[in-house]
Amino acid sequence: MISLANPTRFLELVRIVLPWLTGLTVILFAVGLYLSFFVAPPDYQQGETVKIMFIHVPSAWLAMMAYTVIAIAALGSLIWRHPLADVAGKTAAPIGATFTFLALITGSLWGKPMWGTYWVWDARLTSMLVLFLLYLGLIALWEAIDEPSRAGKAAAILALVGFVNVPIIKFSVDWWNTLHQPASVFRMGGSTIDPSLLAPLFVMAGAFTCLFLLLHFLAMRAEILRRRVGALQQIEAQRAAA
Amino acid sequence: MIRAALALLGRDLRLAWREGGAIGTALGFYFAVIVLTPLGLGPDLNLLSRIAPGILWVALLLAGLLSADRIFHNDYEDGSLDLLTLGPLPLELVAGIKSLAHWITTGIPLTLLAPVLGLLLNLPIESSGFLVLSLLAGTPAVSFVAAIGAGLTLGLRRSGVLMALMILPLYVPALIFGVATVSASITGPASPWAPLMILCGISLASLVLSPIAAAAALRAALR
Amino acid sequence: MTRKQRRTVLIGTAMAVLSVAVGLVLFALSDSIVFFYSPSEVMAKEMAPGQRFRLGGLVEDGSVERSQGTTVHFVVTDMSKELPVSYTGVLPDLFREGQGVVAEGALGPDGVFHADNVLAKHDEKYMPPEVAAKLKQQGVWEGASGETGAGAESKVN
């Protein structure tokens, strides 16, 4: 029961934070979408199509951030054996996969009118697709191993091995020449996006981050409760047998 | 320690040789996939020779992966893996030696078969040399990375498909640079040596890092 | 050897192999994966006619000529060399003079690059049209592509 102490505190934290986080997410999305669609000017080259950026770029950031969260959780479960780390890693995978999928789809819809194609096999697009496959592998591994502690360790090892892909995604546009444009926000010498377009992008990024945290907290809470129910059922079964 | 390592390697090689089945299955699978491809594509020799490097590489990855769940499986079944964890060798080294044995018994035979299969795909005969070089440089990564998957899925039912889903994305860099080497040697315009060097780098890195991950996976599975 | 010494040797060997691996990759990385070749690289490598590759660069100002049907002729430049291109088909929205472009195809015997697919590459700059006009007016920034188009990037590589 000692190992449940931390999850208990976590559940308490979630109970307090959840209403605030929900409110913040709703407000940020309302403001961000309003700025994106009614305030932000069209781009001088791309016109109104540039608005796909406000969904595409935050999704891609969150896709990488979710994997980073999984990798940190993997360290937590392998080195410190923190009971929450397994739960955090397991529940972040489907959310990250969804954001990756969203980034791929919106990118594809953006690519057709701008580049003239839905898909090319350049380094950025390929490494992002590999990230999606890595997420699928992690989810499948969690599904395949019944025993939670072994599944946690196995998934943590796989997550750390796959982490090499994250810097490859980030720097693919700098290391190789790609059809995808180079970094425009986090780069040496400041952003190359005009403030009038950058502001809605950051608000949307904040909204996506809050959404990720919200979903992750909810999923973690569900997973902790699921494990508790499982443990209680086991105790009950043992008592019935005895 | 070196003596123990060599003894383990010798034992694994002897086992693989006397069983024979796994090597034969991988070679047969490789052969069958390569035979099916031209039949599926229809009669276009130019197209065939253009995509030959890619097909030879992809089919080899699948053939290598197919035989990779054997790396730890038999020793796990008969309990010798438990003994090895208690033995004088660090588990990382055990995982490395077993991956090496898999490379010798699967990677090298597949590499030697590849230029023959290249003839079936109308691969220009001059580029056979680079095909073999690229496979020699890349197949260690195939075996060593596959060992991670073999460790993670140890003792699971339906481990084959799961392993493919986990490990195939990790093969993407080796595949890209392997095919780039062979293609560059056929049509240019870039030099085939640059991707070949990267392929060597990938293999060397997996030689060091994969056994660590595989050993961790084994510990999680055996505990 | 004691257990500790053995471990030191193992870790040392591992680090040595790993650094060789990193060295090899870094040494060969830059010119191994190219999505496209710039006109200078095409000239330097003396591509054979009929060999397929992707050509990338900027569409030279004033070079776009539309002949009968949907055939378009234009010149791709990387600010040092240029290559004429002919293409039949629909161009993407973002295709315009001074913008980055990637064309798939092969050189003909006449030295013209015959593209069967043209993709537009856009740079990392985003701004409203008024800002672009103002910048142009002030002469701070010339052309639609500036210094960060496809041409400059291949120089970095």
Closest by Cβ to A115, choosing from C92, C144, C153: C92
Closest by Cβ to A178, choosing from C35, C94, C132: C35
Tell me the shortest Cα–Cα distance from A7 to chain B, in angstroms.
23
Q: Does C4 share its domain with C43?
A: no
Is the pLDDT at A113 greater than 50? The verdict is yes
pLDDT confidence tier of residue A117, bands split at 50, 70 and 90: confident
Q: Does C28 share its domain with C44?
A: no
Q: Does C49 share its domain with C97?
A: yes
Contact B221 A134 (CB under 8 A): no
Give the nearest chain C residue to A201 (CA atoms).
Answer: C126
pLDDT confidence tier of residue C149, bands split at 50, 70 and 90: very low
Closest by Cβ to C14, choosing from B194, B198, B208: B208
When pLDDT is averaged across residues B89-97 and rounded to a whole number, the result is 90
Look at A223-227, B156-160, C121-125 and tell me which has the smallest mean pLDDT.
Answer: C121-125
Instruction: Give the start-end residues of each E strand in chain A.
Output: none
CA distances from C74 to A46, A107, C39, C82, C113 (A): 21, 28, 13, 10, 10
Contact C14 B187 (CB under 8 A): no
pLDDT score, position C47: 74
**pTM for the structure as a whole:** 0.87
Is the pLDDT at A5 greater than 60? The verdict is no
Q: Which residue has the higher pLDDT, B42 or A131?
A: A131
When pLDDT is averaged across residues B18-37 and rounded to a whole number, the result is 87
Give the nearest chain A residue to C37 (CA atoms).
Answer: A177
Q: Does C53 share its domain with C112?
A: yes
Q: Domain of C74: which CATH number?
A: 2.40.50.140
From chain A, pick out residues whose CB is under 8 angstroms from the CB of C148. Answer: 182, 192
pLDDT score, position C144: 43
Residue B172 forms contact with C (CB below 8 Å): no
Considering only CA atoms, give the Rg of chain A.
20
Look at A16-30, A114-128, B31-45, C59-73 and tell me which has the smallest mean pLDDT.
Answer: C59-73
Give chain A's length.
242
pLDDT score, position A128: 93
Closest by Cβ to C129, choosing from A42, A123, A193: A42
For A173, the enclosing helix (H) or strand (E) is helix A165-175
Is the pLDDT at C30 greater than 70? The verdict is no
- How far the first Cα of chain C sits from its last, in Å, is 48
Closest among B104, B144, B130, B99 to B197, alpha carbons compared: B130
The residue type of A155 is A
Q: Give the C-alpha separation, C131 to C137, whole Å.
A: 10
Q: Does C45 share its domain with C20?
A: no
List all residues of chain C from 13 to 52 with a beta carbon under 8 Å from chain A. 29-30, 33-36
Identify whether B189 is preceded by a cis peptide bond (ω within 30 of 0): yes
Tell me the shortest Cα–Cα distance from B179 to chain A, in angstroms.
14
List all residues of chain B from 10 to 69 with a beta carbon under 8 Å from chain C. none
**Residue position matching structure tokens 């991988």:** B26
Average pLDDT over chain B, rounded to an integer: 89
pLDDT confidence tier of residue C157, bands split at 50, 70 and 90: very low
Contact A115 C126 (CB under 8 A): no
Sort residue C37 into left (φ over 0), alpha (ψ -120 to 50) or beta.
beta
pLDDT digits (tens, 9 = 90+) for A128-185: 999 999 999 999 999 898 888 889 999 999 999 999 899 888 888 877 777 888 777 7
pLDDT digits (tens, 9 = 90+) for A21-58: 999 999 999 999 999 888 888 887 777 888 888 999 99
Q: Does C84 share its domain with C108?
A: yes
Tell me the shortest Cα–Cα distance from C13 to chain A, in angstroms.
21
Look at A3-12, B65-74, B95-104 and tell me which has the smallest mean pLDDT.
Answer: A3-12
Contact C53 B176 (CB under 8 A): no
Number of domains chain C contains: 2
Q: Give the C-alpha separation, A36 to A38, whole Å.
A: 6
Is the pLDDT at B11 greater than 70? The verdict is yes
Q: Does C117 share its domain with C147?
A: yes
Is the pLDDT at B185 greater than 60? The verdict is yes
Q: Does C57 share its domain with C132?
A: yes
pLDDT confidence tier of residue A70, bands split at 50, 70 and 90: very high
pLDDT score, position B28: 92
Average pLDDT over chain C, rounded to an integer: 76
Q: Does C57 share its domain with C130?
A: yes
Contact C120 A116 (CB under 8 A): yes
List all residues of chain A from 152 to 171 with a beta carbon under 8 Å from chain B. 153-154, 157-158, 160-162, 165
Is the pLDDT at B61 greater than 80? The verdict is yes
Residue C44 forms contact with B (CB below 8 Å): no
Query: How, if at all, do strands C113-121 and C82-88 pair?
Result: parallel
Helix axes B108-120, B128-152, angle to 10 degrees: 130
pLDDT score, position A127: 92
Tell me the shortest Cα–Cα distance from A180 to chain C, in angstroms.
7
List all residues of chain A from 69 to 88 with a beta carbon under 8 Å from chain B. 78
Tokens of A165: 């892909």
Q: Which residue has the higher pLDDT, A194 or A95?
A: A95
pLDDT confidence tier of residue B117, bands split at 50, 70 and 90: very high
When pLDDT is averaged across residues A101-125 and rounded to a whole number, the result is 88
The residue type of A117 is T
pLDDT confidence tier of residue C140, bands split at 50, 70 and 90: low
Closest by Cβ to C122, choosing from A45, A177, A194: A45
Contact A154 B162 (CB under 8 A): no
pLDDT score, position C154: 33
List all residues of chain A from 87 to 146 with a beta carbon under 8 Å from chain B. 126, 130, 133-134, 136-137, 140-141, 144-145
Residue C25: domain span = 1-33
**Hey, which chains touch C, using 3+ CB pairs under 8 Å?**
A, B
**Residue A80, CB half-sphere, CA atoms under 13 Å: how many?**
11
Is the pLDDT at A3 greater than 60? The verdict is no
pLDDT digits (tens, 9 = 90+) for C45-95: 777 777 778 888 888 888 888 877 778 888 888 888 888 888 888 888 778
**Residue position matching structure tokens 């040399």:** B129
Contact B195 C32 (CB under 8 A): yes
pLDDT score, position C31: 60
Is the pLDDT at B121 greater than 60? The verdict is yes
Residue A5 forms contact with B (CB below 8 Å): no
Tell me the shortest Cα–Cα distance from C13 to chain B, in angstroms.
9
Query: How, if at all, do strands C71-77 and C100-107 pair?
Result: unpaired
Q: Does C96 share its domain with C74?
A: yes
Q: Does C7 share its domain with C76?
A: no
Give chain B's length.
223
pLDDT score, position A98: 96
Q: Does C61 share its domain with C101?
A: yes
Best of B51, B61, B91, B152 to substitute, by most chain A Cβ atoms within 10 angstroms, is B152
Best of C25, C36, C54, C107 to substitute, by most chain B Cβ atoms within 10 angstroms, is C25
Tell me the shortest Cα–Cα distance from A157 to chain B, in angstroms.
6
Contact C150 A177 (CB under 8 A): yes
Is the pLDDT at B67 greater than 90? The verdict is no
Considering A104-118, A175-189, B101-115, B187-201, the range whose residues carry the highest mean pLDDT is B101-115
Residue A44 forms contact with C (CB below 8 Å): yes
From chain B, pick out residues whose CB is under 8 angstroms from the CB of C52. Answer: 187
